[in-house]
Amino acid sequence: MELVKEIVSLLSAIMLFLGSIIALISAIGIIKFQDVFLRSHAATKSSTLSVLLTLIGVLIYFIMNSGFFSVRLLLSIVFINLTSPVGMHLIARAAYRNGSYMYRKDDANTHASILLSSNEQNTAKERRHRAKIREQRRQYWYQKNQ
């Protein structure tokens, strides 16, 4: 029985370690990516996975070593996995509808700053104009495909 506890403790420690590594990768992605859409991808996918691995590791550790089953941990796993992607989707959708800057591969060659493209200004007027053009294209596409 002691051997099983040690194996399960090792498994939970590995899950905690993997969760922390994935959280570090997520933080690096949030810093390095150029626009809100790429950053939201890094923030949602990898941080949700890191929280999932960390909390499952903690849940397994408490079950095996203390005999304690935490319903709060189980509920936090469920709610984080449900709400984090939905919340970030709504943030990205709002950014898209406001005409936020989208990173393009050709911007990397011009040494553009993180927030601005080299050939466009990111003023409120420009964002509204881009959002209006996107909305017109979306309307045209919906009418064409109905």
Q: Is residue 117 part of a domain?
A: no
Q: Is residue 112 part of a domain?
A: no
Domain count, the chain: 1
Q: Is residue 17 part of a domain?
A: yes
> DSSP labels for 27-49?
HHHHHH--SHHHHHHIIIIIHHH
Residues 6+ positions from 74 with CB-CB distance below 8 Å = 59
Q: Is residue 140 part of a domain?
A: no
Q: Is residue 43 part of a domain?
A: yes
Q: What are the pLDDT digits (tens) for 16-65?
A: 999 999 999 999 988 888 788 888 888 888 889 999 999 999 999 999 88
Q: What confidence score (pLDDT) does residue 12 get?
A: 93
Domain containing 61: what range? 1-104
- For the entire predicted model, the pTM comes to 0.68
> Which class for 140: exposed (0-12), middle (13-18), buried (19 or more C-beta within 10 A)?
exposed
